[in-house]
Structures are given as C-alpha cells and as structure tokens.
Amino acid sequence: MRIRRVIAPAFGPLVDASLELAPGMNVLHGPNEAGKSSWHAALFTGICGLQRGAARRNEKRWFTDAHKPWDRDGWVVGAEIELADGRIVELRHDLDGSVDCTAKDVTLGRDYANEIMFEGSPDGSVWLGLNRRSFPVTACVRQAELLSVVEDPDLLQEHLQRAAATGGTDSTAAKALSTIEAYLRDHVGLDRANSTKPLRRAIERLRAAENGLDEATYEHEAYIELLARAEALDRSATEAANLLRVVEAAWALEKARRWEKRLDKARQLASLYPTAPPSPVEDDSLAREVAGALEAWESAPDGGELIGPSPAELQAQIDALPEMPDGDLEPDPRVVRARDEVVLAGREIERVAAQEPAAPEAGSPPLPSARTRSRVAAPMVSAALLIGTGGIALSAGAIAVGSVLLALGAVALGLGLWRTFGPASIRTPAEERDRIERARRARSFWETEMARLRAEEVRLRAAAESSLGDKDVEVGADIVATVGRYEIACRKRSAQAAEARQREPLVRQLEVQRRAELAVRADAQRRADALAKLTAVAARCGIGGGTAEPDELVARLRRWEVDRADALTARAAAWEEFGHLRRLLDGMTLEELEQQVGDRSRAAAELAAGLDPYELGTVELRSDVKDQIALLRATAADHRRRGDTARGEADQARKSLPSVAEAEEEVAAARTELERVRRLLAILEATREFLEEAQDSVHRDIAPQLAASVREWLPAITEGRYTDVRVDPENLYVEVLDRRGVWRDAILLSHGTKEQIYLLLRVGLAEHLTKPGEIAPLILDDVTVQFDSRRKEAVLAMLHRLSARHQIILFTQEDEVWRWAAANLAEPGDRLTRLEEAGRPNAA
C-alpha cells in the first residue's frame, strides 16, 4: 500500500487542504504550530477512520477534543491509496456522523467499504492484515510515542503482543481463542455472584436444591420431634398427677398422726395443771433494781487525783507572758543590703579622694644637659630591674628574696622620681606644657568621678531611707546608725515573740487540766450515788444495815439474786408447760380437740384409699410440702397444656410438610447439571490452553524474524556499538549485544539508543505483521529529535534505503533533517515539503 495523497476538508486546523505524497521517502518540515501533528493524525484517520459505538470511549473523546474543528461544522478526512494489486481507492470518513464513510475504486467506482469493516466503520489498514488498533503500534508512530514507550517499557510489549495477536500471521489461533472465550462466556460464564450464565445458574440451582433438601429434612425431623415431645409431655403430666395424689394422701396421714400426738400431750398437761400456776414475773421490779444497783456500783470509777499543775497555776503563767510584738522580728534583707551599699559607696569616695591629684603649676626651669638626663634615667632603669626580679622571685616561692628585691627597687624608683620631678629637675618648655595638660586632665577626671560617686551615695542613702519608711524607726542623718538601731529593735522583738509563742501551748494545757478537774469531781459524785443506791436496795431486800461495808452489801445482794433465780426457774418451767397446753388446745376444750383429731384421721384414710401403701410410706415429703403440692399440681397442668399444644403444632406441620424424596431428586438433577457445565468448562479450558500454546509458538516464530529485521540495520545505526539483537519469545523483550560480547537490556540504554532500537523494531513489525502481498507505509512524526548528528544521518539514510520497498512519510521540525533531505532526496520518487502556517504545504 502507498498513500498518494491526503484530503482534509475539515480536520482540526486543516480546512479544504490536501497533501500530495511521493511513493518513496517524503520529508515534511515545519516549525511549531505548522500542523505537523494534525497532518500526521489526518494520515492515520484518513486510512483507518474511527470506530463506532461506545468502545474505547475515552480514547475517542481525547481524539475528538484534539482534532475536531473548533469553529465550523463537519469533520471529514480522506486519503487516496494505491494497493499492491493496482487498485486505487479513495477513502472518505465522515467522523462527525460516522455514516457517510466510503472506500471507492477511483477507476471502477466500486465501494469496498464492506470488505474492510472493523468495529462498525471502514478501516483501510485491514488490506494490510492490520486494523486501526494494531496499525499505530506497527507502521504509524505518533509524536513522542517512542519516548512514552521508553518511560513505560511494558507499553511496547503490550502493543507488540496485541499486534501479534491481531495481525495476519496468527489470526486463526486468535479467532479460535476469541470464539472459545465467547462460548465460555455465553455457555459457561463465571462463578460470580452477579453472573446469570449456566455455571452460576447450575451452582445456584444445586445450592438451592441442597438448601431445599436441608429444609425438608429439617421440617420432617421437627415434625417427628413435635410428636415425640407431645407424647413425652402427656406421660409427664400423668406421672405428675399420680405423684400429686400420693403426696396429698401421705401429707394428710402425716398431719393426722401429728394431731393425735398433740391430743396425747394435751391430755397429759391438763392432768398436771387443772388451773394456772403462779406467774414467774412477780416481784420482778425489785430484782431489776438489785441488778441495776450492783451494775452502777461496779461501774463507778475509783476516786483519783489531778496530775500536773492546777488550772490556777497555769492561768498565772499565761498572765505573766508578754503579747506578740508588732514589726519585723528579723532585719529586712533590703534594709541591710541598702545600708551595705551606702557604706561601700562611702569607702569608694574616701579611696578616690585620697588619690586627689595636685593642681597644675606654671613655670619652666632651664633645659638639662644630656649628661644630666642620663644621670637621672640610670636609677629608673635599675629600679625597674629590681622590681621585676623581685616579682619573679615571689611568683617562684622565694618570699624573703623577693621582698628584699622589691624594697630595693622601690628605693631606687623613689630616687629616680625625686631626681626627675624634684625642684632641681629641669624640663623643656614642651615637656612642661605636656605635664601641665596631663595634670589638668587628671584633675578634671578626678573631679568628675568624685561628683558621680557623691551623687550615687546620695541615691543609695535615699533608697536606704525609703526601705526604712515602714519599719517604725526614726531615720537620722547617719544611716548606718539608724540601721543599727533597727537591727537592735528586731532582736528585742524576736526575744519578746519567743516568750509570746509559749502562750498557745499553755492555753491548751489549761483547757486539758480544767477538763481533768471536772472529770475527777464527776467520778467522785458517781461513786457516792452508786453507794447510796446500793444501801437503799439492800434495805428493801432486808439483808443490810446502815453500818455495813460496800463489799459486804455486794456479797449479800449476789446471794439474794442466786436464791431468787432458783425459785424463778421452777415457776418458769411450770408456766412454760401451762403455756404449751394452751397452745395445744388453741382456744378449744379438750373434748373439742378430740373431735377434730377424729375428723382428720377419717379424711386421711379416704385420700389413701386405693393407693399403694409402699408408695405412701416411701414418698419424700419436703419441708415446704405445701409448695411441693402446688408445684406438682402446676406441673401436671402445664405438661398437659404443652402436650396439647405440641400435638396441635404437629397436626398443622403435617399439612405443609415437604417431600424429602422429591428434594433428594432435585439435588441429584442439579448436581448432574453442574457436573455437565463443569465438564464443558474443563474441555474448553483445555482447548484454550492448547490454542494458547499454539499462539506462543507463533510468537516464537515472529521473534527471530523481528530480531533479523533489527539486526540488519543495528550496527550501522549505532556505529558498530551493538552488533546483534534477540527477542525473548515469552514477552518480546529486546536485548542487544555490545562490542564486549555482553547482552544489554534495550530498556536500560541511553534515551536516544532506546528510541533507535525501538524504531527498528517498529520497522520489523511493519514488515512481518503485514499480510503477504502488501507493504505497509511507515508514517513517522519527529522520531529523530533525540538522535545525535551522526546517528541521525544514519537513521535517515536507513529510511531512505527502506523507501525502496516501503513508502516513508517523515514529519520533522529539525533544520538538520531538512538540510539532509534537500541534499539526498530527488523527485519524482521522493518529495520534500515545507509546511507553512495552518498546515499549508509548499513544495521545496
């Protein structure tokens, strides 16, 4: 196939434009915005068109946004191609409506659109054994497509495998696999919850049948269980009713025997106490008084004495204590610090005052001779040496030697100074003026420093007086004396406070002693009251006189209590037996009690009639026999009611009871259907596996052919750096052999080398995936941008040579490519076209 021209009535920025192409190599050059990408897209679309329907909707939307005219109606593109059999066909694609799409023979006027339909619209690449999906990854390289492949290496492998699967060399296996997939999808489907295909239906049918069988079995077992429960409840109700009769009869017999024993005891006690005995509580008030008097005497405390100083003594000590003084007990640190700062300031003033320099005097004696000056300087030098040596000796630890040397140095220094500054010293006029100026400056500095120190002293005195403002002390002119008086006052207040602090513990001790004194008095009164009560009670009992000792009275009263207790015991026993008689009679006479016992015995005999004597004798009567009888009566009634309910539920369940046999038959049928679908699935999967192995074999056949195509041009393109190539038959990865004999992954090479290798691979795809008898054109958009100059020329030369059997259409913006084309291309086999603004071609 060769493209004669491209027609763009309305495509992107192209309006009523056409592009004539040569059968060999075509180079279309232009700057940015010249329409190169639009013509490249028009070439592809003019041949392949666009698919109809919603398939690949995102890609179609992107293509529409990029290439549909923005400011006019209609979207039409076409191409005129020449096939290998000599037919010249004009393809026209109405991209807006996807209806007016034709493929007409220019000579005969026949429309071949039905021959090349793919995804709902004509596709001219079908004549090449390709389609609009595989054509872009074999013969049509879009701008920057090589770069995108480098950035995502899996993209090229995906395109290669898809192109191989949809190309002409293995279309039979691919179609068979597609047919199997479709059959699997329609007649088997996936085991997925939302699937409606046979496999899922069979699984759901089996699950539903098994659930139905489980439900039928469960309901049948529940029906049997209801019947069994009804029978068990009936038996339990009968047993409870029988046990109730036995317990009631045994309880009646037991009560009759108890009434007979009660009657015998009543007869015995009535014979002993025809009348009521005397009460044991007579004279009980006197016994309580005796017990109270004894308890009061024994609990009365012994008389004691007050321990420690008396309350009067403690009060006298408290009255002698001074009050807590007002004011500071310790000198305020601020006051002391202010006083110290004033003292230090005064000392600093005295120190600086002692250094007062003499006032400068005018007058200049005659200039001394050189001999005089040397005679004056000699003692000064000696003095300096002596003082320095003495200092070194002192620092070394020789204190005596150092002291002597320092003393000698001081004498020599004094002599030199006297000679220098004495009345006999003679200075030059300039020296005299310098001396007077230095003396004046020293005097001025001294006066300034003295003024500052006096002002600082005044400030510090004011601060000290301020700190004494609230200390209740008279501030005098001498701040040091004032602070001294303040410190003495603090010491006095501290001593007074120490005495005053003794008041609180003494007050507490006074309160304790007062309470102790009251307690001693109360104890003495309690003991006197207890003795009086003890004497009075003994007199009432007739066992004591006014002269008896307390211990003797206590002993007599204890003996009186023992004798009275013995008498009360006998009375209490008789009274208790009489009370028991009254409880037995319970308001009845003895004759009436005899009548009631007879009635109860006859009633018990009637309840026991017809019952097994052994059961009556062995039945267990609980301590709460009334509750036992009530529980048996309620149990019998409840079991009878529950039994009737269970029998009614069983009768109701029997009416809607499903058939277990029918459910088992449905499970068997559903399992058979599922096994059939699964056998079909296994057969189809095995067939698909065999076909995939056959398709892999085709890929292994393609890989060496692709490698041979790349190997033909690789050494020349890479300047001999790589000499061989191989393609992995599993995933079609590309590796190249370098000069050292090491295989390198093409993905990991430099950017330009990657694109060169993948360009050669695209050429190989175009040659080997095209239907036999046809030759695919190569449409390339700016594929040499990343190549250096030498490799760029090598690639262009390769493409020029390839144009002998493939039509080459190269879009470029590079001036270097333009210059190469101008020097190497020749019409009419080749064509060099410059694209102007808005994509208008201009032949070079």
Note the pLDDT tens digit of each residue in 809-830: 999 999 999 999 999 999 999 9
How many CB atoms within 10 Å of residue 159? 20
In a domain, 195, yes or no: no
Q: Report how far residue 766's alpha carbon sits from residue 229's, in angstroms, rounded to the nearest whole number.
A: 85
In a domain, 75, yes or no: no
The answer on 344 and 447 residing in a single domain is yes
Task: Give the domain-ending residue among 655, 671, 698.
Answer: 655
Written as six digits, the tokens of 400 are 């005596």
**Residues 6 or more apart in contact with residue 180 via CB below 8 angstroms:** 684, 687, 688, 691
Per-residue pLDDT, 402: 46
- 42 and 6 in contact (C-beta within 8 Å)? yes
Structural domain containing residue 401: 333-471
In a domain, 817, yes or no: no
**pLDDT tens digits, 714-772:** 888 888 899 999 877 566 678 999 989 999 988 888 888 888 888 888 888 888 778 88
- 735 and 728 in contact (C-beta within 8 Å)? yes
User: What does pLDDT average to over the chain?
Assistant: 79
Q: Report how far residue 466's alpha carbon sits from residue 455's, in angstroms, rounded to the nearest whole number.
A: 17
The answer on 432 and 347 residing in a single domain is yes
**pLDDT tens digits, 785-814:** 888 999 999 999 999 999 999 999 999 999
Range among 85-89, 157-161, 186-190, 370-374 rated most confident: 85-89
Q: Report how far residue 439's alpha carbon sits from residue 358's, in angstroms, rounded to the nearest whole number.
A: 7
In a domain, 128, yes or no: no
Q: Report how far residue 496's alpha carbon sits from residue 321's, in angstroms, rounded to the nearest whole number.
A: 9
Per-residue pLDDT, 370: 43
The answer on 263 and 341 residing in a single domain is no
Backbone CA torsion sign across 378, 383, 388, 392: positive
Q: Report how far residue 697's alpha carbon sits from residue 675's, in angstroms, rounded to the nearest whole number.
A: 33
- Residue identified by tokens 């609230």 is 470
**pLDDT tens digits, 36-58:** 889 999 999 999 998 775 445 55
**pLDDT tens digits, 6-24:** 999 999 888 889 999 999 9
Per-residue pLDDT, 839: 56
SS3 591: helix
Written as six digits, the tokens of 671 are 């399992």
Task: Give the domain-ending residue among 471, 504, 535.
Answer: 471
- 795 and 780 in contact (C-beta within 8 Å)? no
Element (H, E) at 82: strand 76-82
The answer on 337 and 251 residing in a single domain is no
Per-residue pLDDT, 173: 55
Per-residue pLDDT, 697: 58
Written as six digits, the tokens of 71 are 């400011």
**Residues 6 or more apart in contact with residue 385 via CB below 8 angstroms:** 409
**pLDDT tens digits, 174-224:** 566 677 777 777 778 877 777 788 888 888 888 888 898 888 888 888 878
Range among 67-81, 173-187, 641-655 rated most confident: 67-81
Buried b (16+ CB within 10 A) or exposed e, 288-304: eebeebbebbeebeeee
Residue 780 has pLDDT above 60, yes or no: yes
Helices 198-272 and 660-717 meet at what angle, rounded to 10?
130
Q: What percent of the chain has pLDDT over 70?
A: 82
CA of residue 527 relative to chain centroid, distance: 80
Q: Report how far residue 284's alpha carbon sits from residue 207's, in angstroms, rounded to the nearest whole number.
A: 95
The DSSP letter of residue 308 is S
Count structural domains, the chain: 2
Written as six digits, the tokens of 162 are 């898809």
In a domain, 45, yes or no: no
Mean pLDDT of 133-162: 60
Residue 335 has pLDDT above 60, yes or no: yes
Mean pLDDT of 274-279: 72
Written as six digits, the tokens of 762 are 């695209």
In a domain, 244, yes or no: yes
**pLDDT tens digits, 430-482:** 888 898 989 889 888 888 988 988 888 888 888 877 777 777 777 777 878 88
In a domain, 127, yes or no: no
Task: Give the domain-ending residue among 431, 452, 471.
Answer: 471
